[in-house]
Structure 1
Amino acid sequence: MWYRRNCTANLRRTGATIKSQSFFRANRQFIVHIDAIKRLHNHFNGKLKIEIKHSEDVEILVSREKAQLLKNWLDY
């Protein structure tokens, strides 16, 4: 089941404490669990858009600098 959790802690600090095999820091606002990713879409200028399972209203964009890292992480 997917859910969004608001977090008051610094994402950099939070990202350092979670397992990197299961989570990916998509951008400054989102850390994504591997099981929450439904599909990747190519976006403008080399960016990627992550489609999240069970949530049509969330738009998560990944910069072109991190796009290849995300593809490698997913073995895409």
Structure 2
Amino acid sequence: MDQSQARGLVIEAVRFIVPDADFDALGDDTPLRSEFELDSLDNLSFMETLSKRSGVAITEDDYDRLVTMRSCIDFLTAK
């Protein structure tokens, strides 16, 4: 998976939870959870959706590594 594909998957996963999420002004190092006001259940749903759509296993131990767009892209492209 390349960076563009990974970015698209992150956007899809966030928009599954927050359909009107605006990524135009989002910096790659902005925390997704605070930017889109994801509570713990929303964040869990984001992780599950990202894992399902990407085909990459994401465990609870990985959650702290998947904070920003950049960290999500790096994680997905490394797998």
TM range (shorter): under 0.3
Query: If the length of structure 1 is used for normalisation, what is the TM-score?
Result: 0.28
Higher strand share: 1
Whose radius of gyration is greater, 1 or 2? 1
Query: If the length of structure 2 is used for normalisation, what is the TM-score?
Result: 0.27
